[in-house]
Amino acid sequence: MALIQTSSRDEPLTQLRELVLDDWDNVNRLIFKRLGSDVALVNQVAHHIIHHGGKRLRPLTVLLAARACRCETEEPIPAAAIIEFIHTATLLHDDVVDNSGLRRGQETANSLFGNQASVLVGDFLYSRSFQMMVELGHLRILKVLANATNTIAEGEVLQLMNCNNPDISELDYMEVIYRKTAKLFEAGARLGAILSGQEETIEEALADYGRHLGRAFQLVDDALDYDAEPEELGKNIGDDLADGKPTLPLIYAMNNGSAAERHLIREAIESGSTQNLRSIQLAIETSGGLKYTAQRAEEEAALAVQSLDALPASAYRDGLKVLAEFAVNRRF
C-alpha cells in the first residue's frame, strides 16, 4: 500500500479517507441508520447536525488507529460511529450553553429548533451511543467511553466556571482543553488498540497520540477565532471572546502585552464584549499570542507523531502522522 502524500487544505483528509474507504463508507451508513427514531423532531434535529457534519476527525482516528494495530474485524466501524455520536451530542449542548447561532457555516440546531429540542436530542445521541457500546459487548470499551463522556462533561463545567475570569493561567486553560476536546480523541485512539487486543504499551502510546492530537486541534481552533475569516472558521469571529472564554491567545497577550493592552483584554473577558475586537486582535498579534499558540500546537502535534514510534510501520501509521500534521496546518 502506497504511503500518503500530503498537500494543502483538505487534500490530506481526502487521501486519509481513501486509505480506509470501505470503513469510512460503512461508518457513514451506520451513522445515518442509527440516527433513526420514531419521534419526528429527533430525526429533524439529529439529521440537521449530522448532515452538516464537520471533518469527522474523531471517527477517522478510530479507524486509522485500529487498522494501524492490524485489527481485521468490523468492530472499528460501530466504535467510530459511537465516537461521532458522543461528539455530536456535545456540540448540541455546547451551542445551547454558548447561545451560538453558527456552526460550520450553518445555523445551529438551537437557533432553528430551540434550546429545549437541542438539549433533548443531545441526550438522545448520548443514550444511542451507549446502546451501541453495549451491542459491541466489550466491557473495557464501555468503561473507556463512559469515563471519557464524564470527563468531557466536567470539562464543560470547568470552562463555564472559567468564563469571564481574566486571571486564568495557561495551565488552567490546558486542563480545560484536555477534558473538553482531547479526551475524546484519546479515547478514540485507545479503542484502536483495545479492539485489536494490543498490549498495554501500544494502547498507552495510542492514547498519548490521541491526547496530543486533540490538544493540537483545539489550540489551532482557538487561534483561528482571532485569525480567520468567518467563512473559513464556520462561525462568527470573536465568539470565544463574546462568551468570555480566556483562551491561550488572550492569556498570552494578557501576560506579555502592554499595560493598555492588558487592561483592554481584561475588560473584554470580564464583560464578554467584542466592541474592541479589532484592537484585541492587534494586541494578540503584536504580543506574539498567535505565534505562541501555533508553536504550542506544533509541539503537541510533534508529541503525537513521536507516540507512533511504538506502532509497526504501515500506511495506516503514516496516516495517523498525516492527521496530526493536518491538525496544525488546517484552515476551515
**pLDDT tens-digit profile of 200-219?**
999 999 999 999 999 999 99
- Tell me how far CA of residue 170 lies from CA of 173, 198, 221, 254, in angstroms: 5, 35, 16, 11
Rounded CA-CA distance 182/210 in Å is 7
Over residues 126-169, the pLDDT tens digits come to 999 999 999 999 999 999 999 999 999 999 999 999 999 999 99
Instruction: List, as one string, the DSSP characters of 291-313.
Output: HHHHHHHHHHHHHHHHHGGGSPP
pLDDT at 43: 87
The pTM of the full predicted model, rounded to 2 decimals, is 0.91
Confidence of residue 105 (pLDDT cuts 50, 70, 90): low
Homologous superfamily of 11-329? Farnesyl Diphosphate Synthase (1.10.600.10)
Share of the chain above pLDDT 90, in %: 75
d(CA 299, CA 296): 5
Cβ 248 vs Cβ 233: under 8 Å: no
pLDDT score recorded for residue 98: 77
Using CA atoms, how far apart are residues 310 and 205, in angstroms rounded to an integer?
A: 7
- Across the chain, what does the average pLDDT equal? 90
Separation between Cα atoms, residue 16 and residue 7, nearest integer Å: 12
> 103 by DSSP, 3-state: which?
strand
Give yes or no for residue 237 having a pLDDT over 80: no
- pLDDT reported for residue 228: 61
pLDDT at 153: 95
Res 32 pLDDT > 50:
yes
Q: What is the pLDDT of residue 94?
A: 87
Question: Of 50, 83, 51, 65, nearest to 16 (Cα)?
Answer: 65
Q: What is the mean pLDDT of residues 22-49?
A: 90
Higher-pLDDT residue of 274, 179: 179
Question: What percent of the chain lies above the pLDDT cut of 70?
Answer: 92
Task: Specify the higher pLDDT residue, 232 or 329.
Answer: 329
Residue 306: the pLDDT is 98
